[in-house]
Amino acid sequence: MRIRMRMRMRAVTALTGALALSLVSGCAGGGAGSSARTVTYWLWDANQQPAYEACAEDFEKQNPGLKVKITQLGWDDYWTKLTASFIAGTEPDVFTDHIQKFGQFADLKVLEPLDDLGIDDADYQPGLGANWRGQDGRRYGAPKDWDTVALFYNRAMAREAGLTPDRLNDLSWNPEDGGTFEKAVAHLTVDSLGRRGDEPGFDKDHVAVYGLATNGGGDGDGQTQWSTFTASAGWTYTDRARWGTRYRYDSKTFQSVVEWYFGLAGKGYMVPFTDYNSQSNQANTQVAAGKAAASFDGAWMISSYDGFKGMDIGTAVTPAGPAGRRATMMNGLADSITRNARNKQGARKWVAYLASDECQRTVGGYGIVFPATPGGTEAAVAAYRKKGIDVGAFTEPVADKERFATFSYPITDYAADVYALMHPAMQDIFGNGKPVSGLDRTNSQINLILDQ
């Protein structure tokens, strides 16, 4: 592992060097076709592209002579090509940024400060603006949208199990016996002979319908896997909310929660790791296929679950933890300008417009995501309501801070290195049954990198 870690650090060092060379070589980015009249903009979500095309049309009317060229790429291709573009000097002027990637981009100094755009944190949902400040205190992202996590469930399967919406919205859990949450998941589970997970003779090796779907091991953040449980148990990723200096995967609280969570698969209540595929068989496809009765997933998946043919999908809030409070990750995306943007002046105008309530209300009206401004969020809720979709399980945690705790992705240096270590470690625990105590060593390796 030490050899692999040194190799990983050499790779990051090589990438840093290549980026530094690109930044000082005088080769400005922006991609093919970029000019003083065109702003190039990249995003990864095809569902959101029509909304941003509408914003671009309004922007161009207000800024005669400026054009916005939008490029959409799938999630994996997006980050691969974006990283390559920084090295080649072909980066877009503006791109949709993810807080999971922010630490690495900030460390590589490929982002343009946005302090002069007049962005006020108070104009957005709490916490969304502050997350995009670097360790130097400067802003590198303009708040764009947000999401939380909730429990999607097959209403028909829940009815057959005698689980009402009120009951599913009142679940609680603990790492000792799983609480009413584990009881509900067990009762939703049915083996090949029709016996439920909490009934005598249940065969965990021949399950027809699992109570809970899986999105894999969760890497180092566990957004749609274990994060709601670790957070509601009082655990935090690092020693401070932003730009932490020490990770805490060696915490006994964290390890006991993870052990219980993955143990649901060992009991036959959760889809096993062997049935999960990050490309073709995620939690939503497991529910769509009738393989699982429920799944934790993010607000960005609302329209996908609503579109399952022949299925009526409901949503419920995350279960209350040992301390009585519910928790969900509140992730917020942003728009960032690249340091070598070819049309930097036009990019600033475009990002300022993207962050405006005007554009965010337009995006909200499409009912695809929750924009960062309160007005944009209201427009989205109204659009979902018009479609007959109740999104209260996602918006309630943001509005009710007494019952819910929201938290962000861990924001630190060397984010890519943390992923490189935690991804296989969590896969080993979930997929290969390795003991959670192995995270002590992984955590030490991560903190050693942060000490560099």
3-state secondary structure the chain: CHHHHHHHHHHHHHHHHHHHHHHHCCCCCCCCCCECCEEEEEECCHHHHHHHHHHHHHHHHHCCCCEEEEEECCHHHHHHHHHHHHHHCCCCCEEEECHHHHHHHHHHCCECCCHHHCCCHHHCCCCCCHHHECCCCCECCEEEEEECEEEEEEHHHHHHCCCCHHHHCCCECCCCCCHHHHHHHHHHCEECCCCECCCCCCCCCCEEEECECCCCCCCCCCCCCCHHHHHHCCCCCECCCECCCCECCCCHHHHHHHHHHHHHHHCCCECCHHHCECCCECHHHHHHCCCECEEEEEHHHHHHHHCCCCCCEEEECCCECCCCCEEEECEEEEEEEECCCCCHHHHHHHHHHHCCHHHHHHHHCCCCCEECCHHHHHHHHHHHHHCCCCCHHHHHHHHCCCCEEEECCCECCCHHHHHHHHHHHHHHHHHHCCCHHHHHHHHHHHHHHHCC
Beta strands 38-43 and 67-72 are: parallel
Position 24 scores a pLDDT of 40
Find the helix packing angle between 357-364 and 344-354, rounded to 10°: 60
Q: Is the pLDDT of residue 66 over 90?
A: yes
Q: Is the pLDDT of residue 394 over 80?
A: yes
183-229 residue pLDDT tens: 999 999 999 999 999 999 999 999 999 999 999 999 999 999 999 99
> Mean pLDDT across the chain, nearest whole number?
92
Between 219 and 1, name the one with better pLDDT.
219
Residue range 76-94: mean pLDDT, rounded: 95
- CB burial of 321-351 (b: ≥16 within 10 Å; e: otherwise) equals bbeeebbbbbbbbbbbbbbbbbbbebbbbbb
Choose among 110, 68, 103: nearest CA to 89: 110
Q: Is the pLDDT of residue 344 over 60?
A: yes
Q: What is the Cα–Cα distance from 241 to 13, expressed in whole angstroms?
A: 27
Return all residues near 4 (Cβ < 8 A) that are at least 6 apart.
Answer: none
């698969």: which residue's tokens? 265
Q: Is the pLDDT of residue 29 over 80?
A: no
- Strand partners for 76: none
Q: Is the pLDDT of residue 11 over 80?
A: no
Q: Is the pLDDT of residue 31 over 80?
A: no
If pLDDT is split at 50, 70 and 90, which confidence band does 35 have?
A: low
If pLDDT is split at 50, 70 and 90, which confidence band does 74 have?
A: very high
Q: Which domains does the chain have, with CATH numbers?
A: 2-145+333-386 (3.40.190.10), 149-329+414-450 (3.40.190.10)
Q: Locate 350 and state its tokens.
A: 């475009």
353-388 residue pLDDT tens: 999 999 999 999 999 999 999 999 999 999 999 999
Residue range 114-132: mean pLDDT, rounded: 95
Residue range 414-439: mean pLDDT, rounded: 96
Please, are residues 219 and 423 in contact by the beta-carbon 8 Å criterion? yes
89-114 residue pLDDT tens: 999 999 999 998 998 898 889 999 99
Q: Percent of the chain, pLDDT > 70?
A: 92
Other C-beta atoms lying within 10 Å of the C-beta of residue 37: 10
Position 341 scores a pLDDT of 97
Position 106 scores a pLDDT of 87
